[in-house]
Structure 1
């Protein structure tokens, strides 16, 4: 595992919040020993999935001209199919623009999002040397090509469940808060999502066994049974986008879950009335959620309505990318014994920390939270998303307090310094997620922005008719008017 040299620790500010948050991480760590290379964590470079046209050998009688014609026909069909899919998404979003000023403002804000590319793997600045995350991420870096966000956030998910099981709470802003987290973790297909979470789950010593329910009534029944048995509710779901789509579709059997989940998120009792049992109430419906999905699958499935009405904003998003420095072909076999040992050691360290029934935030911690709230907001993520993300910082401060092995019941500025760095990852990744999910609308908004600037410079008025003629994808006056009203009104 890596270590910060003593002088680097002082530079990093492990003795004070201001230095911890404001000082950039050192660019080199020659003391880092991770498997085959003595090198620091490399940048998770943005990668592009380039698909090459695969061709089969031509039969002897097939001419080159015929082959070219076949390829052009296939490409044309694919382009048409993609266009129909994009058109359906675009039309749904434009229709939403016409509904209300709030929808117009939020959709245009989302379409204008720009993420900040990371110059190094985002997670290393949040890892406490020799701590549980250090052990796990070091092992996965050495033994696998798996993106490190997968074991990292899997560990935080099970830590959340562990604290829920122990009844731990946080006193902050005049309210007792609970440590459950809702995270959606996106990664490329075949990147090891299930494997990584499985390794962490086995070492945790308890299961994420909240069932994948097929209907709203089944979900409520599971909430009730787990509460009656006093079991922590840990919901780990693969292909989570499909579940979200079902919850958002009014005619779907899962649609009833939405109201239950919204109340659970707010910590309010959930109830349901049946002829057989009458009114049944679940007083404590809190549950931790880790939803896994391929990135491309999620972008194709996520509901635009969900992005606007706030349900999707209850989740923290992580977009994991493959590491160019750890080639897939260099890891034909994973050393599961070494991974298991590291994961078990991590949870042994976590469980060795004495817990308090309630933690409070000291004056330094509250000052750190206030400072973070001002520093992290760049105006690109809408305020509702941002505020929910910042409340998550309070839970993360507790996590880092435990991960550092601290035995006091006070969360301090350093705890919030680590939490702030992790929140910044979520804020960056939500821009990536929203940008990908709304890429077609983003192109239209960008084009209208440019036209509006040009027309303004010329002293002319941009009209809906201009948009129909000059913006690809806007074919009707009604769509053009909705977009024009949204973009011009939100500038």
Structure 2
């Protein structure tokens, strides 16, 4: 092993992750995943918020409502984008790609912002503005459900919009043994559109959610994000995080 690799491993050996039984060292797989994540460098020019606000656009006009506030434009922008993605999905929009199959316009976004940055206020204002239009609002998944309720909610509202405030605290519940544990695996199934099945004690046959899918937008406080989510939970492919 080279000196640089040995030094890296020595540093990673000092890092611990949370588990139901307390703190424990990173596994070899965790170390590899962490190194890969740290090695990834996004080009600064790939994202410029004001490129999303061309003159005369709906987003530009929407953000004027927040001109006299301390609210970052990113909060209303990404909430509108999430609602738009869910609207398209619920309307049956998709792409048929040869050799790939059907691609749905679902998005998974998480917004990190400091405490007191008016995350909830910004999204509430966007909802009020959107409700003034003639287009019906998108269907939403209920939040705060235990796993037995969650799968029923998804079964009845597959394709709906999942908006989750304080998503770090919500996801932390999925990592602990208890009534929310199975949601973590089901969410991963939904990401890859793999069928989800569950059978209650009172049922003779399984409830199956075929091709589960939804657009997800979560908001959380960046100061507590690291304690709520472990390294392996952050490595869902192609999930996006936006900050303010």
Name the TM tier (shorter chain): 0.7 to 0.9
Map of 2:227 onto structure 1: 300
Residue 74 of structure 2 corresponds to residue 143 of structure 1:
no
Match of 2:187 in 1: 261
* Superposition deviation, residue 113 in structure 1: 6.0
* CA gap 1:314/1:253 in 2 versus in 1, 3 angstroms: farther
Answer yes or no: is 1:216 the counterpart of 2:147: yes
- Distance in 1 separating the partners of 2:172 and 2:32: 23
1:157 alignment counterpart? 82
Alpha carbons 1:248, 1:303 under 8 Å: kept? no
Q: Is the 8 A contact 1:158 1:201 kept in 2?
A: no
User: Does structure 1 residue 176 correspond to structure 2 residue 102?
Assistant: yes
For residues 299 and 129 of structure 1, the distance between their equivalents in structure 2, rounded to whole angstroms, comes to: 38
Unaligned runs of 5+ in 1: 1-88, 321-491
Q: Do the aligned partners of residues 213 and 135 (structure 1) sit closer, same or farther apart at CA in structure 2, a change above 3 Å counting?
A: same
Decide whether aligned partners of structure 1 residues 208 and 293 sit closer, same or farther in structure 2, where only a CA change above 3 A counts.
Answer: farther
Q: 2:111, 2:219 within 8 Å by CA — same for their partners in 1? A: yes
Q: Compared with structure 1, are the counterparts of its residues 294 and 103 closer, same or farther at alpha carbon in structure 2 (3 Å cutoff)? A: closer
**What secondary structure, in the 3-state scheme, does the structure 2 residue paired with 1:92 have?**
strand
After superposition, residues 276-425 of structure 1 pair within 5 angstroms as: 276-277=202-203, 278-307=205-234, 310-311=235-236, 313=237, 315-320=239-244
Deviation at 1:106, TM superposition (A): 2.1
CA distance in 2, matches of 1:257, 1:218: 10
Q: Does the alignment pair 1:194 with 2:124?
A: no
What is the TM-score when the length of structure 2 is the normalising length? 0.79
CA positional deviation for 1:301: 1.8
Q: 1:201 to 1:271 in 2, by over 3 A?
A: same
Q: 1:110 to 1:235 in 2, by over 3 A?
A: same
> Partners in 2 of 1:138 and 1:298 — Cα distance?
30
What displacement does 1:91 show?
A: 2.7
- Count matched residues: 218
Which protein has the bigger strand share?
Answer: 2
- Quote the residue 1:379 is aligned against: none
Alignment of 1:22-33 (within 5 A): none
Counterparts in 2 of 1:108 and 1:190: CA distance versus 1, 3 Å: same
1:275 paired to 2:198: no
Which one has a bigger Cα radius of gyration?
A: 1
Contact 2:112 2:222 in 1 (8 A): yes
Q: Is the CA contact (8 Å cut-off) linking 1:185 and 1:293 kept in structure 2?
A: yes
- Unpaired runs of 5+ residues, structure 2, are 1-13, 19-23, 132-136
Q: Is the 8 A contact 1:270 1:283 kept in 2?
A: yes
Partner of 2:6: none
**Does the residue aligned with 1:289 lie in a helix, a strand or coil?**
strand
Matches within 5 A, 1:116-131: 122-131=48-57
Q: Displacement, 1:146?
A: 0.4
Q: 1:226 to 1:299 in 2, by over 3 A?
A: same
Give the secondary structure class of the aligned counterpart of 2:173. Answer: helix
